[in-house]
Structure 1
Amino acid sequence: MTLHRTSPVDTPSRRLRAGGTATVGVLAALVLAGCTSPTPSGVSPETSAPAPAETAAAPGESNAPDTVVDTPDATCENIIPAATADDFKSLGWTSQEEPFRIGAKALDDGIQCKWGDTNIASDRVQIFGWAPIDTTEAQTAEQELVASGWKVEREADGTYVTENPDWLNGRGVDGYGLTYFFGDGFVKLADTRQSLVLVEGPR
């Protein structure tokens, strides 16, 4: 008698077990896929927040810290060039400091200097002065000088107020003796108009 190999019977319970195994495999793949989020193309997995932009300064303003510039006090040596002061000293001259005056009024923070040889009685001296002054004070001073006979010459760089030529008696240069120069916020004085170029603000 011939025996035939028989295949296992494909029963419903066998199909159920096979199907269950496939289902478990699919669920496992889905779970693994859910744990890893896909990264959009062109975007790195980790990005840092952008650094805050530096605040731009408004027009006319600067981010640089404010600086304060101190103006030195006026002295007989720092209102004229250092070379001029050295020349005077080489001649044996010294300076005599006085308040800066226009008529009877003394101007605060100003200085008037007379350079000369104190060992010799002589009128050979040089006079220089400088003082801060506001617009109102300058106008009042000019009016008082003119009322006293001084002459006014207004030019592009400022106002020159000089002694009346009739008072000079040969003194002065080109007809100019003591002369005040009123600039923007300051007034200078020299024994001649030409010497005003030697007077500077305190350095």
Structure 2
Amino acid sequence: MEHHHNSCFTYLDDSSAFSYCNSDRSGEFQTTSPESLRRRIFLSCTNDNSSDDLIRYLVTHLESSSSSSIEEQKQAAMEIRILSKNKAENRIKLAKAGAITPLVSLISSSDPQLQEHGVTVVLNLSLCDENKEMIVSSGAIKPLVNALRLGTPTTKENAACALLRLSQSEGNKTAIGRSGAIPL
């Protein structure tokens, strides 16, 4: 296996900010769709190229369009949430596959479940320092602050943790401070 030096892998060994956020309880979800279960089994048994194909498939279903119903969006977002939870490589792959922009859009969703999935996956992706700049440049700070203000308890907790992670990059501190996050 090729060795990649990336801060996502080393950060996972730390017991710092993320460990006390309790960020992602996605393991509690039961996926009832037989297609979803087949995809999850497929992912766990396949090589990297096949998992890349699945990630691209799920990312295309995140986007709101006439071809994706809200239920398909929720299913894709939940599966991406699960994929991003424990595997550092998936966090990088998801960012490279273009997941960040549609996930940031989900943070502003009026559907509480879609919003929670969006916030939580953005938090999970922010565990990799390589992804932080893409998350911020995709406009995530203001939607995260709104989710911190108006979301469900889990959404609020995960939005706060995502902002904490993003604030660990020096250039983001001012933007987060100006966004109204500090009083919240």
Query: Normalising by structure 2, what TM-score?
Result: 0.26
Structure in which a larger fraction of residues adopt helix:
2
Structure in which a larger fraction of residues adopt strand:
1
Of structures 1 and 2, the larger Rg is shown by 1
With CA pairs under 8 Å and 6+ residues apart, which has the higher RCO, 1 or 2?
2
